[in-house]
Amino acid sequence: MPLRRWLWLSYLRAAIIPLLVIEVSFLLIYWASNALVYRENIATVGTLSRSFLQDVARREANVIGRELAGYSTDAAVLARQSLRALNGNHAPTAAERQRYVTDRDGTIYTRSDNGTTASYYSNVTHPGARQLERMLRLGALDPLMIDLQQSKPDVLSVYFNSRDSYNRIYPYFDAATQYPRGMDITSYNFYYQADAAHDPQRKPVWTDAYVDPAGHGWMVSAIAPVWNGSTLEGVVGIDIGLKAMIDRLMRLDLPWGAYAILVDRNGRIIAMPPAGEGDFGLKELTSHQYSEAIQKDSFKPESFDINRRPDTRTLAAAMARSPQGNAVLTFDGTHLANFVTVPGPGWRLVVIAPEANINAPADALRARLLWVSYAMLAGLLLFYAAFFFVLYRRSREMSGRVARPLQEISGLMKRIGSGEYRQDFRGAAVVELDELGRELVATGSRLGDAYDELVRQEQVVRSALERQQQVNEQQGRLVQIMSHELRTPLAIVDSGAQIIERKAEDMAPADLRRRTERMRGAVRRIAQLLDKLVESLSRDVPGDVAAHPMQETIALGPLVRERAGAAIPAGRLAIDPGEDEVQAWADPRALKGALDAVLDNALRYSGGAGTITVRTRRAGEEALIEVEDSGGGLDEDELAEIGKLFYRGRNAAGSTGAGVSLHLARKHLAETGGRLELANRAGGLCATIAVPLARSGEAE
């Protein structure tokens, strides 16, 4: 069947007829479902809006909490510095002393502003000389008070209040006219809320909103007690105006025309932006007309108490049950209120949003959906007329065999992408598809060639780097060995030659021979070291004759007794008979050299009186010679290094050697198919020489 006809019939069966049925059914049920969708939409929007407002309230409460915590920290710092000032020896200047005036009724106050603090000592205490000196010592607080007030624009004033009604405050004002005579500071909330009864934990606390006696209007304060042992010396405070709190709430970017208020621990509204004044029927209090001095605590009226308002009782009840949650308020219409506890002072941040604003998008959507339904009914006929025509044209445009080459090209790309670079392509009737497929095959081949070359170059570079690293390590160890091992014998030769040069005429022949023998011994030591180095390096040269051993059958028992007896003192040697008749197939010279190196190593590093045990045995197709000493063994990290050219263990300090013998031993054994292994055993190190067993028929 032609692709065009197949596509046309497929459209009819799979798209057009089902769509007609679906569209007619949809129009019949659309109006009924629209109402259901609207109700569900309203419910979903309500749930999401509550969750969103709760998240907003929580986030903003945390931000406010962090800001308030900063003020609390400042108050704690000021409290600690106040105690230091009280116990210190700050001496004010003469000019500073002259600022203080003692009134006839016993009140002490500052009479001029020098850019620092104001002081007021109430006559309720009748301060004497001792109290005056304590007051003057507090002058040490002035720089800190100034910094705390000037560094933060929201801070109205910073002060210290003593337990005997002394007040030191910045910025300066005329305290004598502002404060009432006989003022008992301990009766105000900005003092007693930090005493032992209200603040047993002795930490910074926040006051409720109150009218400031110092003339700044309505505010809240971060206060902290100043304890000297068990005595409350006073309370420090940092005043924040309610206007700053309201400005902070007004800066919140809240959707749906929402706004936020702050409520204190007792349920009184601390701060409320203008957006909430209409709902609550209140005028926020920020300023105060000071027609007379503030004689006592002045808190916000009952109209600001949500516990006493009929329209906020549901919110108050919800707050009493939980530190965070939500409630429904009925002002002028329904409002959603979500509250969260502010960390630190325990206030509540309440975010209030009109429900009508929240549901407005859903209402608008409902209206639009009704208009859409009418438009759909009118446009359905036009749509299907155009749809039939478009499908017919599309079936003609998509004719031709394009599916198979497209699928094949897709498969080619996937296989090449997975690493199968070399592929075949059967071709396509469409020129562009055919060219694309063949170009993909060619590209895959080029990628495969490039990948193979990359792998090969990577192996070459890795081998070169490993070899260079080994050469660098060997060169470093060679320099250390030559520096150590040549210096001592050369020093012996030089010393002996100097003595002979100076005293040859006076030396006896025997003494002369003894010294020349020492010099010859040093020369032999150098020669032996150089022989080992030459032998080791020559065996690293490809094609060297030393790399072509002559192998024969060797009886290990006699060989071990001969070489061990010659190398190890009789009192320290223990030969385990083991399997004395073991026959090995090896190069005699290589095997003897390896055994001598292992025996010499065991003798050097096993201690002066340790026992060296030698045994022979079989293990599979190998003949083993084990040399075990009692020198304490090696650290595990050294076992892999021992046997490398010029490497010497940490326990080799102070002994002769070049780190060549065990390296040569491994070279000798490797040339005949053998190996050398080192392992810690109980009490010492065990060196195992493994060579192939002699098989029957191999000539001796």
3-7, 339-343, 490-494, 557-561: range with lowest mean pLDDT: 3-7
- Residue 461 is which amino acid? V
Contact predicate 526/489, CB 8 Å: yes
**pLDDT tens for each residue of 191-217:** 999 999 999 999 999 999 998 998 888
Measured N-to-C along each axis, helices 661-671 and 588-605 cross at an angle, to the nearest 10 degrees, of: 150
Distance CA 136, CA 131 (A): 9
Residues with Cβ within 8 Å of residue 77, at least 6 apart in sequence = 144
Of residues 116, 121, 112, the one with CA closest to residue 90: 116
Residue 384: pLDDT over 80: no
- Averaged pLDDT for residues 563-582: 81
pLDDT above 70 covers a percentage of the chain that reads 85
At 477, is the pLDDT very low, low, confident or very high (cuts 50, 70, 90)? low
User: 63: number of CA atoms within 13 Å, CB side?
Assistant: 11
Residue 697: pLDDT over 60: no
Contact predicate 34/366, CB 8 Å: yes
pLDDT above 90 covers a percentage of the chain that reads 26
Residue 653: pLDDT over 70: no
* Average model confidence (pLDDT) across the chain: 82
**pLDDT tens for each residue of 581-601:** 888 888 888 888 888 888 888
pLDDT score, position 398: 65
State the Rg of the chain over Cα.
Answer: 50
Q: What is the DSSP string of 189-232?
A: HHHHTTSTTT-TT---EEPPPEEETTTTEEEEEEEEEEEETTEE
pLDDT score, position 83: 95
**pLDDT tens for each residue of 4-45:** 677 667 767 776 777 777 777 877 887 788 778 778 888 888
97-111, 195-209, 390-404: range with lowest mean pLDDT: 390-404
pLDDT score, position 545: 39
pLDDT score, position 698: 53
Residue 184: pLDDT over 80: yes
Higher pLDDT, 97 or 532: 97
**pLDDT tens for each residue of 226-247:** 999 999 999 999 999 988 888 8
Residue 61: pLDDT over 70: yes
Distance CA 692, CA 694 (A): 6
pLDDT score, position 465: 80
pLDDT score, position 660: 66
pLDDT score, position 397: 66
Q: Where are the domains of the chain?
A: 547-692
At 541, is the pLDDT very low, low, confident or very high (cuts 50, 70, 90)? very low
Residue 298: pLDDT over 90: no
Question: What tokens appear for 519 in the block?
Answer: 């010099």
Distance CA 591, CA 668 (A): 7
- Averaged pLDDT for residues 350-370: 85
Residues with Cβ within 8 Å of residue 360, at least 6 apart in sequence = none
pLDDT score, position 699: 43
- Averaged pLDDT for residues 546-559: 76
pLDDT score, position 546: 45
| CATH for the stretch 547-692 | 3.30.565.10
Residues with Cβ within 8 Å of residue 671, at least 6 apart in sequence = 539, 546, 547, 549, 587, 590
Task: Give the highest mean pLDDT range of 356-370, 484-498, 626-640.
Answer: 356-370
Contact predicate 611/630, CB 8 Å: yes
**pLDDT tens for each residue of 503-526:** 777 777 777 777 777 777 667 767
Phi-psi label, residue 400: left if phi above 0, alpha if psi -120 to 50, beta otherwise: left
pTM of the model: 0.50
pLDDT score, position 46: 80
- Pair type for strands 583-586 and 573-576: unpaired
Question: What tokens appear for 634 in the block?
Answer: 């090696």
pLDDT score, position 547: 47
